[in-house]
Structure 1
Amino acid sequence: MTATLPLSAAQTSIWFGQQLDPANPVYNTADYVLVEGPVEPERMERAVRAAVAEAESLHARFALEGDEPRQRHEPRDWPFPVLDLSAEPDPPAAAEAWMRADVRTPVDLAEGPLFAQALLKLADDRWIWHQRVHHIAVDGYAFSLLARRVADLYTDGGGTAFGPFAKVLATEASYVDSGKPAVDGGFWRDYLADLPEPPGLVDRLAGIGDHTVRATAQVPAEALRALATQENVGWPDVVTAAVAGYLHRATGADEVVLGLPVMGRLGTPLLRVPSIVMNIVPLRIPVSSGDTLPALAREVAAQVKRTRPHQRYRHEQIRRDLSLVGGNRKLFGPVVNVMPFDNDLRFDGHRGRMRNLAAGPVEDLAVGVRDFSDGSGLSVELDGNPALYDERTLVRHRDRLLRLLDEGVRVSDRPIGRIPLADRVVPRREPLPPAPDVVDLIRRRAAERPDAIAVEQGDARLTYAELVAEADRLAGRLRERGAGPDVLVSLQSRRRPETIAALLGVLFAGAAYVPLDPDAPEERTRAVLEAANPPIRITDVISGRTQPVAGQARPGNLAYVVHTSGSTGRPNGVLVTREALAGFVRAAGERYGITAEDRVLQFAALHFDASVEEVFVTLCAGAALVLRSDEMTASIGGFLRACDESRVTFLDLPTAFWHEVAHAVDGGEELPRSVRAVVIGGEAALATRVAQWRATGVSLINTYGPTEATVVATAADLCA
C-alpha cells in the first residue's frame, strides 16, 4: 500500500468544505476542448490516459488518520466513454446537456475517482474532449497544463512530463521554514486593519448551492489592449478596474474590496505540476465617480504590485487572523479571476478551442475572463451563487458591466460616474428552432439510459426502457381503437407508475389525453365527458400484444385537454397543442435546470395542469419522477421524511402547502439535504414565509400562469 501524505493548504480548505455536504457536486470543475477537425478516438484515449497517469493529484484518495485528513495516490482503472452525438438534431446542445449532467455527478473523496474524461463526436470534423475534475485536485492553471499536455501527446507523443505532487508539499514546507509567513501575515494585518464591510451587489450572505448561475459574453480586446499599453498597465488591470467601477456605481461605496485569485506558482518549481495551488487575496481599491477607467486601472496595478510579495499567504489564514471565520463579515466582495493562459491548442494541426463549463463554488459573484490567442477576443463569464442571483439578474449585471468597460475604454477621459449604464439595446434574437416533441425527447432519453429509473413509487419502479415499452404497447391498442391526431382519450386513474405509462401511450399514439378526477362527484365527471366527448376511454382498451406504431401527430395537433370550472361553474376545456407543450417543456427545463441527475416529486393530481410541468419536464430531461402517495401528505413532518428517503431534489408545490412546509422547517423540522429547488404557484406567497425560507439556502421559484397559457407564463426566484 502506498504511503499517505498530508494535504496541501489549498486541499485542506476544500476537503473541509466538502465534508459539510459530502454529496454536493459544487466542487466539480470542468473544461472542454472543441477540436475543429477529425479525431482518432483510440489515439486521443492514449494521449488522455498518458497525461492523466502523469498527474498524481488526480489519483488521490482522502481519509482521516486520527483527526488529520491524509491522502494516498492510488491509480485505478477508469472509463473513457466515446459518444457519437452526430445523429442528434442539435449535436452541440446534446453534448452540452451531457456534460452539464456529468458535472452534477457527486464525487466520493475517499474512493474516487476525482475526475471523468470523455470524447463526444459532433461530426466527422468536430469533436469535444471533456474533462471534469474535483477542485481538490486542480485549479484553472492545472486544467490548462492538462489540456496542453494531451495536445502534445496526441500530436507527436513528445513534450515534458509533469512534475511529482511532492513538489507542492515541499514548496509549502520551504515557505513555512523561511519565516516569510510571519512577515506576510503582518503585512495583511496592516493592509486590512481598517477594512470596511466589502460592498457587494447583494447585501446578504448565503450558503453555497450545488451549482452556479452563469452569464457569458465574448468581447473584442484590441482597444482594451491598446489602452493598457498606453497606460503602462496590464489588460487584466483594466478589466479589474471596470469591475471595481461597476461595483462603485451599483453600491455607492468609495472603496471596494475584490477577491483576486493568484497562481502561487511563479518563482517556484510548480509550473509543471498539475494540482491546486491557487490562492485568493483581497484587493482594496479606492474609487470615486470622478475617476476615469485608466485612472482606476493604474490604481489597481499599484495595489496588485503592493500585495504581490505577500500573495502566498493563504486567504484562509487571513480570515483567521482577522477573526472572520464563522462570522457575518466577508473578507472580500466579488472575485475577479483573469486567466491569461494560452487556450489555443493544436491536435495534429487541427485547432482545439478550450472552454470552461464549471469553475467550482462561488460564495457571491465571480467574474472570470479568459484570453483567446486565436483573435476571438476575451470570454467573460459571470458566475453567481444561485441563492443570491437568478439568470435574468446576472445577465443584467453582465450587460451593464460590459457597457462600463466598453465606454470606459472607448472614451477614456470620461469619468465612470458619467457613463450611462442603462441596459443595452439588445439585437433582435433569432427565433429559436422548434422545440422537439416530448415523445421524441422521451424516446431519446430511453435510448441514452434505458436502465435509468423513469418512474418510482415506493418499491414500484419503471426504467426508461420499461416505460417506453409499456407506452408503445398501449399506443398500439389505442390505434386499433381509432386513436390518432386530435382524437381525445379520457384517462381516469390514480397516481401510479402504470398511469404515467398510459398517459404517454396516448401521446405515443398521436392522440390527446383528457385527465379526469377519480374523486370528483359523478356530476362533474359527466359534465367534463359531455364537454369533451372523447371517443375513447383508457379503461375500455383491452390489453394485448401489438406492434408498436409511432404517432403521426403534427405540432399543431392536440396534446391534452384540461378542464377548469370557469366563472359559470361548468367545465371549460383548455386545448393545448403538442407544439405548445414542447415549447413549455424546453423553457421550463432550462429555467429550472432539470438534469438527468434530478429526482422530481410528482405532487399534483393529473387533472391539474401543474402535473404537466412535473411529468414532462422530468421525463424529457431523463430524470426520475417520484410519485407521491396519499400517505405522504398526512403530516408535514412525514412529507419531509418521505422526500428525504426518496432523495427528492426538486419539489413543485401549491403555495398553500409550501407555506406549511416553510413554517415547519422554521420550527425545527429538517428539510431534506437533497432538495435543491422548490417551485410554488397558485396564490401569493406570504412575505414572512419567504423570509423564513431564505435561511435554508434552497432556491424558491414563484410561478404564475393561466391554464390557457400552457401551465406557467412567468417565474421569479424569491431568494435571489
Structure 2
Amino acid sequence: MSTDVDTLPLSAAQEAIWLGQHLAPTSPVYNTADYVVIDGEIDPGRFEAAVRSAVAEADCLHARFHLVEEEPRQSFEPGRWRFLLVDLSAEAAPEAAAKRWMHGDMRTPADLRTGPLFAQALLKLSDGRWIWHQRIHHIAVDGYAFSLLVRRVADLYSTDGGGRPFDPFQRVLDFERSYLDSERCAADREFWGEYLSGVAEPPWIGHGRTDGIADRTERAVVPVPARRVEPWLELATAVGVNWTELLIASVAGYVHRVTGVGDVLLGLPVSARLATPLLHVPAPVSNIVPLRLPVDPAASLSTLAMSAAAELKRTRRHHRYRQEHLRRDRRRADGPERLFGPVVNVLPFDQEFAFGPHRGRMVNLSAGPVEDLSVGFRGSAAGLRLEMDGNPAGHSASGLRRHGDLLLRLVDEAVREPDRPLGRIPLADRPVRRPSPVRRPAPDVVALIRARAADRPGATAVEQDRRCLTYAELLARADLLADGLRRRGAGPGRLVGVRLPRSPDAIVAVLAVLISGAGYVPLSPDAPDAYVEHLPRITVEDGLLLSGHADDGPPPERSARGTDIAYVIHTSGSTGRPNGVMVPRAALAGFAVAAVERYGVTGNDRVLQFSSLQFDASVEEIFVALCSGAALVLRTAGMNESLDEFRRATARFGITVLDLPTAFWHELVAAGGRLPGSVHTVIIGGEGALPSRVAQWARLAPGIRLINTYGPTEATVVATAADLHPSGSGRP
C-alpha cells in the first residue's frame, strides 16, 4: 500500500470477517456467490461495459486491507481486473458444465491485501441462454448488496447508463459512528441484555461441537412445489400471521424436536437498512439478531407461529444493534459463547431482473460461512427452494437433505392437522399421509389463476411475438369480457364457442368463459359452417358463439360448481359428424393441479402453447402454465416453417417447457439438432415413442427431462405419464 493513500477504519461487520480471514488467509470460505440466468440473446460487449461501470461505482469492491500500527485499515484502490467470457455451448450439458465451473471458481481464495475481492464472468450456454456469475468476498458485500449490483447492471445494460448510481461506503461508517454515539444504541444494548438474560447456550444440530469455521460450506437443496406450499399459506392466513412467521416457527419447532430444548434461540438475518441512508450502498450492512422462542410440545404450530409474530414485533425496533457488539457484551457478562443456534432466512420473493427485453433470474450459489446450520427459504407461492447449509465438520450433504425432508414433513403434518401438538407429530421414516383428493378437491382453475395473479400481478401471463399480457392484465380483460357474456346469457350449464385464431385474445376469451360460469368450446376459425351448425347458438359476435335454445330461459343465478362443464372437445366421429366430449370443472382442476406437480412447472417457467385450441393438448399447455404462474408463450405462424426455425424461435422466446405431439418430436430428434439450453422439460403424447428415438434423444439432450403421456379425451387430457430413459425404464 502506498503511504500517501488515505485509509479508513473497518465497519463492525468487516472487522469480524477480516479477523476470520486473517486467521485462515488461504481459506475460500468467505467467498459468496450469486448467478443470474438470462434467457435471450445478450450482447457480451455491452454487458461487460455495464458490469465494469457498476463495479467502478461500488467502492467497497476495490478495498485493500492492511495492518496500520496493529489496527486493520482499508483503502479503496481500483485496479485492473478480468471480465471472463466462457463459451460452454459446445458442452453436452452446458448448464451442468456451468455449475461445475462456478463451484470451481468458488474455491479461489481472495487476498485481502492485494485483491481483487471479486470475479465476474459471463457463461454462454447457447445463443439464447447465458449465466452471469459473480463471486465476491463477504468483506465487501452482503446478500442485499448482490441484488443492488444486479439491478444496477440491469439498468446500465437496458438504458445505456441510466438509473441511480451507488452511494459511497463512507456513509456506512458515518451512520455506524452516529448510531454508536446515540441514545438509541444504549437503549438497544439494554433491551438485548434483558432479552437474553438467563438463556442457555444453544445446542449444536450437527454431530458434536465444531471448532470454528471450516474452509467450505456443505449445501443440500430441496425443491418445494407450489402445490405443497399453498396449504401453508392457507394456514398462515387463517392464523393471522404471514408465511415468514409461519416458517420461522416451523424451524423453531423442528429444532425443539431434534434437540429437546424448550427455549429455542434462532439467528434471524435482517437487512439493517430500512429507514437509513444505506439503501443504495453495496456493502456488508446486514445483521443477524437472536430470536428467542419458547416451544411447548403440547402447543400447535399455529400457536407457535403467533408467538413468533409477537417476538418479531417485540424485537424489530432493536435490530440495528449489531451481533458483533452483542457477542462482546455477552463475553463481558460471562454469558454463553454462542449467540444463537440455527440461522433461518426467509426470502419470500422471486429475484427477477430485466436485461433489455430479456429476463434474468438470480440464484444464490453460496452465502458464506456457517457456524452450524443455516436454513434458507427462497421463492414464493409459485414454488420454494429450501437451502440447507451446514458446517461440514458436523453435517454431510445427505444429512442436510434429511434435515430438510424432516422439516418439511413437520410443516406438512402440522398444516394437515392444525390443532395437533408439535410433540405428537411423527417424524419417523414412514410415508407422510396426504389428504385424499376426494376429501380435499382441487380449487377451480379460475381460483388458481387468480391466486397466481395475486402473488405476481406484474409477471408475464401470455405472450405472442411482441404482444404481452401480465397476470393482472389477463384477469382484468377476462373479467370485463365475462361480464358481457353474462349479460348475453352465459352462465353455468351454457356453452360458449371460441372461434378465434391462436392469440392472446383467444386465451382471454377462454378464461372469460370459465369466469362467467359457462363452458368453452374451441372451434377453428376456418371450420365450415356445416360443422359449426351442430352447435345450436343464440348469438354470434367477436368470435364467440353462445349455445343453447331461445326457450331455455336464463342460466341459473349461482356460482359454477365442479360438476358444471368446463370445456367440450369435439372429435370427428366415424360418420364425420362432430362428437363432443364434455369435461367438468372439477376434472379440469384436478388435472391442472396434478400436472403442475408431476411436470415440475413453476412460476419461473415459459411454456410453449403449440397445439391448436381444438385439441385437448392445448388444455394441458394453457392451464398447466397459468395455474403455476408460468408464462404461456403462444406459437407464432412462422415457428413451424422448418425445424431449424422452431429451434431458433424456442431459443428466442426463452422456452423452458415444450409440450409436443410425439410425431413432431420424432421429426425433431431425427433431424439431429440440439434444443436451446433454456429448455429443461419436454412433454410428448398422442402416440407411442419409438425406442430408437428415445436412445437418440438421450445422446442429443442428456440434461433435458422427457415425459411421455397418454390419455383419451374422455379422461381429461392425460391418464398416464412416465419419464423416459434410453434403457426403456421410466418413472410412472
- TM-score normalised to the size of structure 2? 0.56
CA contact (8 A) 2:7 2:73 kept: yes
Q: CA deviation at 1:410?
A: 3.8
> Do residues 207 (structure 1) and 225 (structure 2) align?
no
Q: Secondary structure at the match of 2:112?
A: coil
> Do residues 394 (structure 1) and 397 (structure 2) align?
no
> Do residues 360 (structure 1) and 368 (structure 2) align?
yes
How far apart, CA to CA, are the structure 2 residues paired with 1:174 and 1:200? 36
Return closer, same or farther for 1:17/1:223 CA change in 2, 3 Å cut-off.
same
Q: CA deviation at 1:422?
A: 2.9
How far apart, CA to CA, are the structure 2 residues paired with 1:35 and 1:85? 15
Correspondent of 2:264 among 222, 231, 256: 256
Deviations 1:257-305 (A, max 9, x none): 1011111101101111110011111111011222222211111111111
How far apart, CA to CA, are the structure 2 residues paired with 1:9 and 1:103? 25
| Alignment length (residue pairs) | 424
Deviations 1:359-415 (A, max 9, x none): 10001000112225xx64222100000000111111111100111122323432222
Return closer, same or farther for 1:41/1:376 CA change in 2, 3 Å cut-off.
farther
Correspondent of 2:421 among 415, 420, 425: 415
Q: Secondary structure at the match of 1:81?
A: strand
Q: Secondary structure at the match of 2:86?
A: strand
Return the letter of the residue paired with 1:367: V
- Give the structure 1 partner of residue 176 of structure 2: 172
> Do residues 161 (structure 1) and 169 (structure 2) align?
no
- Give the structure 2 partner of residue 299 of structure 1: 307
Q: CA deviation at 1:236?
A: 1.1
Correspondent of 2:323 among 315, 324, 329: 315
CA contact (8 A) 1:211 1:361 kept: yes
- Give the structure 2 partner of residue 377 of structure 1: 383
Q: CA deviation at 1:342?
A: 4.5
Return the letter of the residue paired with 2:214: G
CA contact (8 A) 1:292 1:414 kept: yes
Deviations 1:97-137 (A, max 9, x none): 11011111010001111100000011111110000000001
Correspondent of 1:192 among 190, 196, 202: 196
CA contact (8 A) 1:341 1:371 kept: yes
Q: Secondary structure at the match of 2:83?
A: coil
Return closer, same or farther for 1:324/1:143 CA change in 2, 3 Å cut-off.
farther
Mapping 1:489-528, distance limit 5 Å:
none
Q: Secondary structure at the match of 1:244?
A: helix
Correspondent of 2:290 among 272, 279, 282: 282
CA contact (8 A) 2:59 2:76 kept: yes
How far apart, CA to CA, are the structure 2 residues paired with 1:320 and 1:307? 19
- Runs (4 or more) in structure 1 with deviation over 6 Å come to 324-328
> Do residues 49 (structure 1) and 55 (structure 2) align?
no
- Give the structure 2 partner of residue 686 of structure 1: none
Q: Secondary structure at the match of 1:356?
A: strand
Return the letter of the residue paired with 2:195: Y
Q: CA deviation at 1:424?
A: 6.4
Return closer, same or farther for 1:67/1:8 CA change in 2, 3 Å cut-off.
same
> Relative to structure 2, which stretch is displaced further, 65-74 or 405-414?
405-414
Q: CA deviation at 1:79?
A: 0.5
Deviations 1:168-194 (A, max 9, x none): 111111212212222111111111110
Q: Secondary structure at the match of 1:276?
A: coil
Q: Secondary structure at the match of 1:51?
A: helix
How far apart, CA to CA, are the structure 2 residues paired with 1:39 and 1:325? 56
Deviations 1:213-235 (A, max 9, x none): 11112223433333333333221
CA contact (8 A) 1:200 1:247 kept: no
> Do residues 119 (structure 1) and 127 (structure 2) align?
no
How far apart, CA to CA, are the structure 2 residues paired with 1:380 and 1:332? 21
Return the letter of the residue paired with 1:407: E
Q: CA deviation at 1:328?
A: 7.2
How far apart, CA to CA, are the structure 1 residues paired with 2:414 and 2:154? 38
How far apart, CA to CA, are the structure 1 residues paired with 2:35 and 2:389? 17
Q: Secondary structure at the match of 1:224?
A: helix
Return closer, same or farther for 1:299/1:385 CA change in 2, 3 Å cut-off.
same
Mapping 1:71-110, distance limit 5 Å:
71-110=74-113
Return closer, same or farther for 1:4/1:259 CA change in 2, 3 Å cut-off.
same
Return closer, same or farther for 1:180/1:127 CA change in 2, 3 Å cut-off.
same
Q: Secondary structure at the match of 1:268?
A: coil
Correspondent of 1:266 among 264, 269, 274: 274
CA contact (8 A) 2:331 2:337 kept: no
- Give the structure 2 partner of residue 33 of structure 1: 36
How far apart, CA to CA, are the structure 2 residues paired with 1:326 and 1:7? 26
Deviations 1:525-565 (A, max 9, x none): xxxxxxxxxxxxxxxxxxxxxxxxxxxxxxxxxxxxxxxxx
Return closer, same or farther for 1:323/1:153 CA change in 2, 3 Å cut-off.
same
Correspondent of 1:339 among 344, 347, 355: 347
CA contact (8 A) 1:199 1:247 kept: no
CA contact (8 A) 1:396 1:423 kept: no
Return closer, same or farther for 1:314/1:198 CA change in 2, 3 Å cut-off.
same
How far apart, CA to CA, are the structure 1 residues paired with 2:347 and 2:312? 15
Q: CA deviation at 1:417?
A: 2.1
Q: Secondary structure at the match of 2:316?
A: helix
- Give the structure 2 partner of residue 579 of structure 1: none
Mapping 1:592-611, distance limit 5 Å:
none
Return closer, same or farther for 1:423/1:43 CA change in 2, 3 Å cut-off.
farther
Return closer, same or farther for 1:325/1:259 CA change in 2, 3 Å cut-off.
farther
Return closer, same or farther for 1:68/1:424 CA change in 2, 3 Å cut-off.
farther
- TM-score normalised to the size of structure 1? 0.57
Unaligned residue ranges in structure 2 (runs of 5+):
433-732
- Give the structure 2 partner of residue 591 of structure 1: none
How far apart, CA to CA, are the structure 2 residues paired with 1:412 and 1:362? 33
Q: CA deviation at 1:199?
A: 2.8
How far apart, CA to CA, are the structure 2 residues paired with 1:355 and 1:16? 28
Taking every aligned residue pair, what percent have the same amino acid on both sides?
Answer: 59
Q: CA deviation at 1:425?
A: 5.4
- Give the structure 2 partner of residue 147 of structure 1: 150
Return closer, same or farther for 1:282/1:79 CA change in 2, 3 Å cut-off.
same
How far apart, CA to CA, are the structure 1 residues paired with 2:427 and 2:116? 46
Return closer, same or farther for 1:328/1:292 CA change in 2, 3 Å cut-off.
closer
Return closer, same or farther for 1:325/1:389 CA change in 2, 3 Å cut-off.
farther
Deviations 1:594-615 (A, max 9, x none): xxxxxxxxxxxxxxxxxxxxxx
How far apart, CA to CA, are the structure 2 residues paired with 1:281 and 1:181? 15
Mapping 1:449-468, distance limit 5 Å:
none
- Give the structure 2 partner of residue 216 of structure 1: 221
CA contact (8 A) 2:330 2:337 kept: no
CA contact (8 A) 2:222 2:401 kept: no
- Give the structure 2 partner of residue 481 of structure 1: none
